[in-house]
Structure 1
Amino acid sequence: MPDLTSRVALIVIDVQRAFDAWEAAGRRRNNPDAVARIADLLRGFRGRGLPVFHVRHESTDPQSTFFPTKPGHRVMEAARELEGEPVVVKRVNSAFIGTPLEVLLRSSNVERLVICGATTNHCVETTTRMAGNLGFDAHLVRDAAWTFDRIGPDEDLHRAEDIHAMTLANLHGEFATVVSTDDVLRSIARVT
């Protein structure tokens, strides 16, 4: 595990109630404990006084579960921001496009990012790829991210576990280092 004790920040992506609605409607996901692992990361970073940045998706489509007036737009309680923790609102997959995230990170002298949230193969992946391309030392937390089953263009069912694993494989070593919650917590425990 690389040393994460210097100039590191936690990025929590789209941990919003829309995903609870998706599950309630019968969509199947992987990593059922991901939100609990995100809460562990939040406690770890906050306990060490390390910066936390929250990202919310705000759809421009009134039919979307992420539309600002819909209940799904609200954050899950386990990932709620504390006073003083920045919340960045995005309208596309990448948290870096159309938002002040990069400026906020650079003005805070952040070089290393620990990234978690939903969904692995959409906003988490896009943000992680851009973080790597922008020169950040990105670390994607495998057990603190999740996705859903999808039907492909040939009507094939792709299981959430397979999509998640392939996304991690695509990112690891190229755009980011894939780590576990325990890896991160052990590393930041060295912060004094």
Structure 2
Amino acid sequence: MNIAENAALVVVDVQKGFEEEDHWGPRNNPGADDNIASLIDTWQATGRPVVFVRHDSPKPDSPLRPGQEGNDFKEYVEKRRGKGGGDGGELLVTKTVNSAFYGTPDLDAWLRAAGISQIVVAGIQTNMCAETTARMGGNLGYEVVFAYDATYTFDLVGPFGWALGAEEVARGAAVSLHGGGFARVVMTQEVVGGAR
């Protein structure tokens, strides 16, 4: 795995509100948070840029809405913010929709100004904001690496009464991203190994 020296890690929506199981339902991948922390640590230790993305939900019943504790980053992310090393830099993007590329400030403009062509996506939820950010990154011409086990999601009900467990939902997202050519889906260990 070849991780560019200036590859940006895009950490999507790792917020306290996603710990409210009564709202979201059962999740998969209990090891995701450890893997996300490992990626941030690796990026900061090697001086690569980290983008922290926060979802400011406009929905009145969302645990992620501004002014609620659930809008805050999880503690392990918050304590790592502001600790970027070298020239890597750090960016905070806030958004109200799925894609980090439709947030403030303009992520695409920031990446291009820094000459960054490769991004690594991690965070919550696998099939929602993480997947949408990865898809759009691919559409915009970035080389996208999706750290599958540094993401998680929840059980989901769709049309016709179809219901999928969180693991099925996550795998479906990974198959669409990888099989559709939007991103290279890999595991955290491979990313960390390629970034050292």
Equivalent in the alignment of 1:49? 47
Tell me, which stretches of 5 or more residues in structure 1 are unaligned?
none
Structure 1 stretches of at least 4 aligned residues deviating more than 6 Å after TM superposition: none
Q: CA–CA distance in 2 between the matches of 1:48 and 1:62?
A: 40
Equivalent in the alignment of 1:150? 156
Tell me the alpha carbon deviations over residues 114-161 of structure 1, each in whole angstroms, 9 at most, x when there is no partner: 100010111011110000000000000010001100122222320110
Q: Does 1:160 align with 2:140?
A: no
Q: 1:98 to 1:50 in 2, by over 3 A?
A: closer
Provide TM-score, normalisation by structure 2.
0.91
Cα pair 1:36 1:78 within 8 Å, conserved:
no
Equivalent in the alignment of 1:91? 96
1:187 pairs with one of 161, 172, 194: 194
Q: Which secondary structure state, in structure 2, belongs to the residue aligned with residue 72 of structure 1? A: helix
Q: CA–CA distance in 2 between the matches of 1:60 and 1:143?
A: 28
Equivalent in the alignment of 2:65? 67
Tell me, which stretches of 5 or more residues in structure 2 are unaligned?
83-88
Equivalent in the alignment of 1:27? 25
Letter in 1 for 2:69: P
Provide TM-score, normalisation by structure 1.
0.92
Higher helix share: 2
**1:25, CA displacement in angstroms?**
5.2
Q: CA–CA distance in 2 between the matches of 1:98 and 1:55?
A: 9
Equivalent in the alignment of 1:15? 14
Q: CA–CA distance in 2 between the matches of 1:62 and 1:153?
A: 24
Equivalent pairs, count: 187
**1:98, CA displacement in angstroms?**
4.1
